[in-house]
Structure 1
Amino acid sequence: MKLNKHTANCRIRRYLLIFTALSLLLLPLSLIYLVWNEQLQKINGFEDINQTHLPLIPDYAVQTLKPLEMQQLALRMESRLDRLKEKCTEHGLDVLGHDSWHTPNTWEFLVNKKYHIIWCNVFKAASSSWMFNFNILAGYTPNYLLHTKKILLNLARERYPRVTLDELREAQNDSITFIIARNPFERLLSAYRDKIVFALPYSFHDKLGRTIVRGYRKKPALIARAGNTKYPSFPEFVHWLLDQVKRGSFIDMHFVSATSFCTPCLIHFDMILKFESLAEDQLYLIEKTGLKRVIAPVWRNMGKGGRKTHELQHQFYSQLTRQEMLQLYDYYQYDFELFGYDIKEYLQFARADDTVGLAAMGV
C-alpha cells in the first residue's frame, strides 16, 4: 500500500513537472502571438470591434442641435444650393463641354455606401478633419489614425476606390453628397503657407518652391518684393500660378479651383458646408446622416479664422498689386460667385500702384 502511495506521488510530481515545463514553453509563444496579433491589428488599422461595427460615442459626448437650429440650418443649406444653381446657369457651367469646367470630375469623391455619405474633398477646406472622419467610417480606429505615420489620404483610398460618374450617381440615390467651400483667396494662402513656406525638406512641394525661385526671383516686377528666403515670396508664387493657368498646365490639387475640382454644376450636391460656419454646418450634416453616435465634429488644424486670419490675409495680399489680384480673381471667379464670396475686401489690401481693371469690378 505504501509502495502504491509512493508511486502515485511520484506520478503526480512528474505530471506537475511536465505541466510546468510545457507552461514555460508555451507562455513565450503565447506572448509572441499576442504581440504579433496586436501589431497586425495596428497595421490593418482595425480592432476586433471594428470588424463588425464601429464603437459608439457616449451619449454625454454627443453634440446636437435644437429643432429651431436645424430649421435655420436647413434654410441656410437651401439658400446656398439655390445660389449655386442660379450661378451655374448664369455662367453656363451646367452645360457639358470638353474643358475642365464643363466635364464632370469624380476623381476626389469619397463614397461611403455603408453609411450613405459622399464627400468631394476640396484640399485646404477642412480636408484634414473630414479625411479623419471618413477614415473612421472606413473602420480605422481613432487611436491608429492619431499615431500612424501613413498619409490619411492614402489610407482612405485603400477603402474608398475612385468611382466612375455612373457609379457615383448610383450611390447618390440613397446618400447625402456634400462639399465644404472656403473663401478662395483664404484657401490659396493657406495652401501656399502649408505647402510652399513650410514644405517638408526634399518633398515635392519643397522642390517646386525651389523651381519657382529659380524661375521668378530675377523678374524685374518681383525683385523688390522677393526677400531673401529659400522659398518663393507670395508674389513669386502668384506669378507662377498665373502662368500655369495661362499655359493650361496642370494645377496642383491644393491650389486648383474648387469649381473645376468638384464640378458642382454638373454633379448634384445635397449640402454645401462652409469653412467659416463649419462648427454649425457639420453638426447639421452629422445629424441628417444619422452619424452623431459614430463621428464627432472634430476640427483638426484649428487656429484658423478671426483676427489671426484677417492679419495673415492683410500681410500677404498687401504684397500684390491690384492688377495681380484681379488676374488671380479671374481664375477663382467661379469659386467666389458659386459659393457667395466677395473680392472687395482683398482689393482694399492690395498695393495701390495699379488700378487697371477696377472699373470692371465696380470698385
Structure 2
Amino acid sequence: PRPPVTKRHRKLLLKSGSVIPSGAPPGEEDRKLQGMAHTQVSRHHLLREVCTKYQPGVTEHPISSRQVSRVYVEDRSGLLYCEVPKAGCSNWKRVLMVLGGSATSTHGIAHDDAHYANQLRRLDTYSQAGVAERLRSYTKVLFVREPFERLVSAFRDKFESPNSYYHPVFGRPIISRYRANASLSALRTGAGVTFREFVQYLLDVRRPVGMDIHWTPVSQLCSPCLLHYDFIGKFESLKEEANFLLRSIGAPSNLTFPDFKDRNPKAERTSYTITQRYFEQLNTTERQRAYDFYYMDYLMFKYPKPYKDLY
C-alpha cells in the first residue's frame, strides 16, 4: 500500500532547505515553505475526498497505456510531468529539456522545438515494468488551470490566430454544422469560428470532429484519481510553485521556471476579465452545460464557481 500522501509531501517539500532564496529574512523562508507544504497537503486531501466519492475503486484496475500517454518522463531527476495544454506546458517542457541535458537553458528553446524536438519520452513508450517502477519511485507532477480560462485560452490560441491545422480540421466541420448560411469561404477555410460555435461543438455528444487535448478536462487527460500525483500546482501561481518544486527536487540552482508567453506573444494573456467577455456570448444554459462539462476539474482542484447562477 502507498504511504499516506501527507508523509510523502512533508518528505518531498521539506527535504530541501533552500526552496526560497536565502536573502529572505529568517523565519520568512520557513513560513513560505510551510505555507506551500500546507497547500499541497490540503490539495491532496481534497482530491482524495473527491476521488473516493466519484471514482471509488479506480486504483484497483491495471493502468492502461492511454492513461499515461500525456505523462512526460525525465529520468535524470526522477520526474514525471503530465502535460496540461494551456497551463504552462511549453515552459515545463523547456525545463524538462534542461533537466535531461538536451538543452543548457530554457531561454533559447523555440516553441516548436519545445513541442516537436524535445527528445522527451512519454511514459506510455516504456514496458509495463518500466511504467510501474517510474510511477512508484519518481516525483509525479501536475499543473492545472481554472477550467473556463483554460478553455478560452485554447479557443483564442487555436481559432483567433492563423492556424494551418485547427482551422481546416476543426474549423470547417464546426462552421458547417453550427453556422446557418455560412459563406463559401468560411466553409472552405474554416477560419473565423466564434466562441459560441466552438462551445456548441464541445457540448455536442455527436460532435462532427473528435476531442483535442487542448480542451479535454484534466480529470480525463491526467487521471488524477489513479496516478496519485505528488505535487499539484496551479497555473494561477505557476512561477512560484514551479520554482518551489524545482528547489525541492534538487534541480540546479540556476534553473528557474521561465515565464515567457511564446504563442502569440503580443496577445494579452487570457485573464478572468477576458474569460468573462467570451462567456457573455453564451446563454445561461450553454454556460451551465460548459460548467457541467468541466465539473470534475472544478471539484478536484477546488476552483470556485465562475458564475453565481450555476448550480
TM-score tier after normalising by the smaller chain length: 0.7 to 0.9
- State which of 65, 79, 87 in structure 1 corresponds to 2:42: 79
Q: What are the within-5 Å matches in structure 2 for residues 289-328 of structure 1?
A: 289-293=249-253, 295-301=255-261, 309-328=271-290
Percentage identity across aligned positions?
A: 28
SS of corresponding position for 2:226: coil
Quote the residue 2:16 is aligned against: none
Q: Give 1:206's aligned residue.
A: 167
Give yes or no for the alignment of 1:160 onto 2:99: no
Deviation at 1:151, TM superposition (A): 3.6
- Aligned letter for 2:234? K
2:200 is the alignment partner of 1:239 = yes
Letter aligned with residue 302 of structure 2: G
C-alpha distance 211-277 of structure 1, shift in aligned 2 (>3 A): same
| Match for residue 183 of structure 1 among 140, 143, 146 | 146
Q: Residue 51 of structure 2 is aligned with which of 67, 83, 88?
A: 88
TM-score by length of 2: 0.77
| Separation of aligned partners in 1, 2:89 and 2:134 | 21
Higher helix proportion (structure 1 or 2): 1
**Per-residue Cα deviation, 1:1-31 (whole angstroms, up to 9, x for no partner):** xxxxxxxxxxxxxxxxxxxxxxxxxxxxxxx
Of residues 78, 82, 85, the one that matches 1:120 is: 82
**Who is 1:351 aligned against?**
none
| Deviation of 1:246 (Å) | 5.1
**1:122·1:258 contact (CA, 8 Å) conserved in 2?**
yes
> Paired residue for 1:339, among 287, 301, 305?
301
* Residue number among 93, 110, 123 corresponding to 1:131 in the alignment: 93
Give the C-alpha shift of residue 176 in structure 1. 1.2
Corresponding position of 2:17: none
Normalised by the length of structure 1, the TM-score is 0.67
Q: CA deviation at 1:154?
A: 2.1
**Residues of 2 paired with 1:70 and 1:192: CA distance?**
36
Match of 2:7 in 1: none
Question: Is the contact between residue 84 and residue 339 of structure 1 (CA under 8 Å) also seen in structure 2?
Answer: yes
- Provide the alpha-carbon RMSD of the alignment: 3.2
Query: Are 1:212 and 1:237, in contact at CA under 8 Å, matched by a contact in 2?
Result: yes
Deviation at 1:147, TM superposition (A): 5.7
Q: Distance in 1 between matches of 2:33 and 2:106?
A: 33
Alpha-carbon distance, 1:94 to partner: 4.9
Q: Deviation of residue 135 (structure 1)?
A: 1.5
Which residue, out of 159, 169, 182, partners 1:196?
A: 159
Report the secondary structure of 1:185's partner residue. Answer: helix
The structure with the larger Rg is 1
User: Alpha-carbon deviation of 1:215?
Assistant: 2.0
Which residue does 2:227 correspond to in 1? 267
Name the SS of the counterpart of 1:125 in structure 2: coil
CA displacement at 1:89 relative to structure 2: 0.9
Aligned to 2:215, the other structure's residue is in SS state: coil
Change (3 A) 1:144 1:78: closer
SS at match of 1:178: strand
Distance 1:179 1:191, change over 3 A: same
Structure 2 counterpart of 1:152, one-letter code:
A
Distance 2:270 2:153 in 1: 12
The answer (yes or no) to whether the contact 1:63–1:292 under 8 Å persists in 2 is no
**Unpaired segments ≥5 residues, structure 1:** 1-61, 220-228, 349-357
CA contact under 8 A between 1:104 and 1:267: conserved in structure 2?
no
Aligned to 2:132: 169
Query: In the superposition, relative to structure 1, how do residues 175 and 96 fare at CA in structure 2: closer, same or farther (>3 Å)?
Result: closer
Partner of 2:236: helix, strand, or coil?
helix
5+ residue gaps, structure 2, are 1-19, 182-189
Distance 2:292 2:85 in 1: 20
- CA offset at residue 347 of structure 1? 5.0
How many residue pairs align between the two structures? Answer: 273
Cα distance between partner residues in 1 of 2:78 and 2:226: 20
Deviation string, structure 1 residues 256-277 (Cα, Å, up to 9, x no partner): 0111000010112101000112
Q: Could you tell me how far apart the structure 2 residues matched to 1:197 and 1:79 are?
A: 38
Q: Distance in 2 between matches of 1:74 and 1:118?
A: 19
Q: 1:15 matched to which residue of 2?
A: none
